[in-house]
Amino acid sequence: MSTKAKYITGWVLTGIIVLMLVASATDKIRSSEHALEMAGSFGIKAGVYQVLGMIELLSVLLFAIPRTGILGTLLLASYLGGALATHLQHQQSILFPIGIEVLVWITATIRFKELGNRLFHPGI
């Protein structure tokens, strides 16, 4: 894939991730009816769910900014790992958190050459 194609692909995928996770974080921060229903199904108090939304929002913003993108990748991986564990604990589908996690890592390896090199070419 050419450098220009990687650049465009990386930013398109970043945009998709940002749109999905900002919507999710906003839902939690605003304590929408859907968010409160989800929090209740997980046994999480509304205030704690709002804090999770703020963490999610901060992580995705750090991911979107090129200078802090790798830090954002690690924070999103941690956040989504927690979401995965929560879904497993409460017998909920894990497809969404796994799908987002995979998309984040694919996007990160496209956007951040040094990350891709370390993951796929460890001897370099």
Q: pLDDT tens digits, residue range 45-77?
A: 999 999 999 999 999 999 999 999 999 999 999
Nearest C-alpha neighbor of 1 from the set 99, 122, 10, 123? 10
Half-sphere exposure of 9 (CA within 13 A, CB side): 15
> Does the pLDDT at position 124 exceed 70?
no
Q: Residue 16: which pLDDT band, with cuts at 50, 70 and 90?
A: very high
- pTM value is 0.89
